[in-house]
Amino acid sequence: MRFCPFSQRVHLILDAKGIPHHKIYIDLIDKPEWYKDYSPLGKVPALQLTSVKEQPTLVESLIITEYLDEQYPELRLFPTDTLQKAQDKILIERFAPVVSAVYPVLTCNPSAPTDALTNFETALDVFEQELARRGSPYFAGQTIGIVDYMIWPWFERFPSLKLTTEQKYELKPERFGLLLKWRELVSQNEAVGKTALDAQLHADFQSSKRLGKPQYDIAFRA
């Protein structure tokens, strides 16, 4: 499903590393029965390793991306330093409060808490401050790395808030100046460009989902 940010994480790494692969998109509301053969809990994404004996399947975006980074080391995305790698994985986990705070608004849920965007900004402050602390254009330094790719899918979706919220919400440059510069920089990455959908498509999809008729196929008009 092209609108799933967790699946997009894996697509980004596959494209960044130039790994040959075949994509199969499914309806997340009405998952095909056969999918449980690959992901018993029905989670997405799932990656079947067809070149490995018995063709095992991996699930969970971070598990998949770490596996791919180790198996295809030509372009390292995780830090080679053990401590920095652990710290980056912790930072990725710290993005969870950002997602949980903004999700009801991002998905056009009429029951979204009134303080959802306030909580979202508070959680996002961590990443503005961390980018300032690292003193580099990317979270990985001078080149794009795993943290950048793992949080990108949500930054691709944030601009749709301007189209779906009554207040036409946007990230404030005075509060998130570094992150906005980072977003512009990452948007120019080749792998990001291959998976990108624009704000209008994201807004249209969330509107269709809110009406109970998610239009997954609109992604392919991009």
* Catalytic residue list: 4
Dihedral over Cα of 215, 219, 220, 222: its sign: positive
Q: For residues 97 and 26, what is the distance between their CA atoms, to the nearest angstrom?
A: 27
What amino acid occupies position 119? N
Dihedral over Cα of 157, 29, 120, 64: its sign: negative
96 by Cβ neighbours in 10 Å (0-12 / 13-18 / 19+) ranks as exposed
> Max alpha carbon distance in the chain (Å)?
54
Q: How far are the Cα atoms of 16, 35, 64, 108, 148 from residue 9, in angstroms, in the given order?
A: 11, 20, 9, 22, 10
Neighbouring-strand partners of residue 141: 138
Please state whether beta strands 46-48 and 57-59 pair in parallel, antiparallel, or not at all (unpaired). Answer: antiparallel
